[in-house]
Amino acid sequence: MACAVTCPVWHCFGINKKPRFRVRAERLDGNDLSVVSTDGVSVKETTVPVVVGRVYLVDGGNGSLKSRIEKKMGGEELELLWDDGYGTNTVKDYVDAAKDMIKPDGGPPRWFCPVECGRPIKDSPLLLFLPGLDGVGIGLILHHKPLGKVFEVQCLHIPVHDRTPFEGLVTLVEETVRLEHASRLNCPIYLVGDSLGGCLALAVAARNPSIDLVMILVNPATSLGRSRLQPFLPILEAFPDGLHVRTIPFLLSLVIEVGVEGRLLPKQKIERISSNLTALLPFYSGLADILPTETLIWKLKLIKSASAYTNSRLHAVKAEVLVLASDKDHLFPSGEEALRLKKLLPNCMIRIFKDNGHTLLMEDSMNLLTVIKGTCKYRRSKSHDFTKDFLPPSMSEYRYTFNNVFGFLNFASCSSLFSTMENGKIVKGLAGVPDEGPVLLVGNHMLMGMDLSSLCEAFLREKKILVRGVAHPELFWGNFHTSSNVFNFFDLMKVMGAMPVSPKSLLKALSTNSHVLLYPGGAREALHRKGEAYKLFWPNQPEFVRFAAQFGATIVPFGAVGEDDMAKVVFDYYDYMKIPMLNDRIKEVIRSGGVQIRDKAKGEVASQEIFIPGMIPKIPGRFYYLFGKPIKLKGREDLVENRESANEVYLQAKAEVERCIGYLLKKREEDPFRSIINRLIYRTFHAPLHQVPSFKP
């Protein structure tokens, strides 16, 4: 016999109102189930507490229950700048929801689906959340809304008084994983494990190497042996049963006190301990109910057995792994552990967050979905596809990227954009660029790619169009990608639509009617030498013209200037090569796995070495863009086979880029607001940044 339980939960945000929970229960065999409550549902004397979503508990024989997760129909595809709801939930919502979910029911661990996750898009993969020390299962509450748009989110709830051993939890998760894998053979299953849940995820992966798993481990407890908590476990076990639960957090603070400077006054020590404890357990106000004394001691023993069990089986883990570690984790040495796991696991990537504590998922400075997208871990099939698996940026990601990360550059450069209408007239703005794709934007790359953010932001703001840029494969598969341990600028580029430059990527993007941004000069232009500003280093092959013609795309040549008003190159590639140690180092990096493109090309464009030129900043000037007259290739399928005709169009596009650059270099001399000082004075009394006047075209 089986029963289905559906329990929507309604949270109140910013209102002094007690959350109310609504529960519905029904038997799968059609028989009546009379017990319905606002707090829980009794099923064979087992209360299901405030579980959200729909879960099937199936009789597995011998009195055991097996979980079968209901498939949800996919919703509509995501729109550009969609509302992901990130930031609407807080730690307070966690505490409020946890108080209702921890009511004793005598039931076993079970799966539930948070109702606020909503209905995901079509073909969304399954995501199973494995909780940490608390076991409640709502540790993703800050991320429910964004994750629920692109995953079928299911969370594991371990009741407060449940004493299932670690091997039993492994079996429970393993059965669910195998059941789901059997019904979706070509789709990955995501396991998000927090602390203790990280051990659980690794253990399941070790026992099921043939199943396609993507594991996201958040401060995994595999480092317990090197934790400050390890020598403290025998003391906790010796405490009398009647000891008040609030003593336990105080004793945990003594663990954190290790490392507090001895010269501090007692009062200062107490303040430091209090501060550390707050960082460790931000939801401390509800800790007494969530983790009673005996439960906390049991969970600590559980972590001990989980760590030993998992570490002995790491060699068997073949799954794709992403480790998210906090550098200021006072409970575990998570930063060191991430580096250790990266060496031990064959397919492991790490991201270290330097300013976060142990409860990383509860801190509002990290959007889990953004990290998954930025590390290219989101996929709906056996391998990641940069076109089919791409998720458009949300409004919160747009604001973070262009206000927080590129805010200063966009403010300092105050870009001015112009475009060319079909009649040849140059107008301010992007009216001359077609709204309907496919469109291929081709132009010159400025130093260090500093032209990218302003261009992409302008298209999003003015035309509500996402420009998908093709970038050097080094950022996706090379040494830079594998050696970077922090979530960085290049991860954000992937969130905003960047994909590796290749014929396959370009063809797929054009086939979806996208606006694609291509710099034929590539890294050679972006990392140019001294005295080479605005010089084009394009290949001799007209391949992008043939690709565009295959899909009837419109080519829009453009020129960008302004780098010489921002910085001056004083140390370039040739200077590096004159220093023996640096010369050898650059060559060694290239030999040891750097991704090479255009290795068969000839001339300067074949030089694609990745290095960082030495620069001296200047008092900021301004960026200028001019999009030339569109070159329509609809009906020109002959260019695919006729290389001579394709080369004529190629030279036409290149000449138009050079014309745009020359036009801007001349006309910017007429701009009264080229200097940042004049722009600041103007903005004090007048328009916002993107409305500062420029020269008249």
Ranges of each domain in the chain: 91-259+277-375, 395-424+431-566+619-691
Most confident listed range (26-30, 243-247, 518-522): 518-522
Q: Give pLDDT, residue 19.
A: 35
- The residues, any chain, with a CB within 8 Å of residue 535's CB and separated by 6 or more, are 525, 528
Q: Give pLDDT, residue 104.
A: 83
Model pLDDT for residues 654-693, shown as the tens digit of each residue: 999 999 999 999 999 999 999 999 999 888 887 776 789 9
Residue 39 has pLDDT above 50, yes or no: no
What is the rounded radius of gyration, in angstroms, for the C-alpha atoms of the chain?
29
Q: 469-503 burial, b if ≥16 CB within 10 A, otherwise e?
A: bbbbbbbbebebbeebbebeebbbbbbbbbbbbee
- Structure-token match 């016999």, residue found: 1
The mean pLDDT of 55-60, rounded to a whole number, is 38
Residue 455's pLDDT band, with cuts at 50, 70 and 90, is very high
Model pLDDT for residues 103-123, shown as the tens digit of each residue: 888 889 999 999 999 999 999
Residue 148 has pLDDT above 90, yes or no: yes
Q: Do domains 91-259+277-375 and 395-424+431-566+619-691 have the same CATH topology?
A: no
Alpha carbons 237 and 243: distance in angstroms, whole number: 12
Q: Are 283 and 94 in contact (CB under 8 A)?
A: yes
The mean pLDDT of 225-254, rounded to a whole number, is 59
Mean pLDDT of the chain: 81
**DSSP E strand stretches across 459-617:** 467-471, 499-500, 515-518, 554-561, 567-571, 614-617
Residue 174 has pLDDT above 90, yes or no: yes
How many residues are listed for the chain in this entry? 697
Lowest average pLDDT, out of 23-27, 287-291, 500-504, 623-627, goes to 23-27
With residue 268 as reference, give the H or E element that holds it.
helix 266-280
| Terminal Cα-to-Cα distance of the chain (whole angstroms) | 76
Q: Give pLDDT, residue 688.
A: 73
The mean pLDDT of 362-374, rounded to a whole number, is 92
Provide the 3-class DSSP secondary structure of residue 463.
Answer: helix
Model pLDDT for residues 64-81, shown as the tens digit of each residue: 334 444 444 455 789 999
Residue 336 has pLDDT above 80, yes or no: yes
Residues paired with residue 466 on neighbouring β-strands, in sequence order: none
Alpha carbons 296 and 133: distance in angstroms, whole number: 8
Residue 13 has pLDDT above 60, yes or no: no
Quote the Cα angle for 202-207-209, to 5°. 90
Alpha carbons 451 and 671: distance in angstroms, whole number: 19
Residue 294 has pLDDT above 60, yes or no: yes
Instruction: Say what percent of the chain tops pLDDT 90.
Output: 56
The mean pLDDT of 456-469, rounded to a whole number, is 96
Residue at 349: amino acid letter: M
Q: Give pLDDT, residue 240.
A: 57
Residue 61 has pLDDT above 50, yes or no: no
The mean pLDDT of 532-551, rounded to a whole number, is 93
Classify domain 91-259+277-375 at the CATH superfamily level.
Answer: Alpha/Beta hydrolase fold, catalytic domain (3.40.50.1820)
Q: Give pLDDT, residue 648.
A: 96
Quote the Cα angle for 318-325-177, to 5°. 40
Quote the Cα angle for 502-503-508, to 5°. 100
Residue 322's pLDDT band, with cuts at 50, 70 and 90, is very high
DSSP alpha helices (H): ranges in 292-406? Answer: 293-311, 334-344, 368-374, 395-399
Residue 268's pLDDT band, with cuts at 50, 70 and 90, is low
**pTM of the entire predicted model:** 0.83
Q: Give pLDDT, residue 57.
A: 37
Model pLDDT for residues 596-644, shown as the tens digit of each residue: 555 455 555 555 566 788 899 998 999 999 999 999 999 999 999 999 9
Tokens of 635: 């009906």
Q: Are 479 and 594 in contact (CB under 8 A)?
A: yes
- Which DSSP string do the residues of 200-244 spell out, in sequence order? HHHHHHHH-TTS-EEEEEES-GGGGGGSTTGGGHHHHHTS-TTS-
Q: Give pLDDT, residue 82.
A: 95
Closest residue by Cα to residue 479 from 469, 490, 468, 470? 490
Lowest average pLDDT, out of 191-200, 251-260, 379-388, 412-421, goes to 251-260
Cα-flanking dihedrals φ and ψ of residue 350, to 5°?
Answer: -130, 150
**Displacement of CA 100 from its chain's centroid (Å):** 31
Model pLDDT for residues 135-145, shown as the tens digit of each residue: 999 999 999 99
The residue among 389 and 607 whose pLDDT is bigger is 389
Q: Which fold has domain 395-424+431-566+619-691?
A: Glycerol-3-phosphate (1)-acyltransferase (3.40.1130)
Q: How far is CA 249 from CA 57, 93, 261, 330, in A?
A: 35, 21, 21, 13
Tokens of 244: 């008040």
Residues paired with residue 49 on neighbouring β-strands, in sequence order: 40
Q: Give pLDDT, residue 481.
A: 55
Q: Give pLDDT, residue 298.
A: 87
Residue at 568: amino acid letter: K
Q: Give pLDDT, residue 238.
A: 65
Model pLDDT for residues 499-511, shown as the tens digit of each residue: 998 899 999 999 9
Closest residue by Cα to residue 171 from 3, 56, 48, 309? 309
Residue 260's pLDDT band, with cuts at 50, 70 and 90, is very low
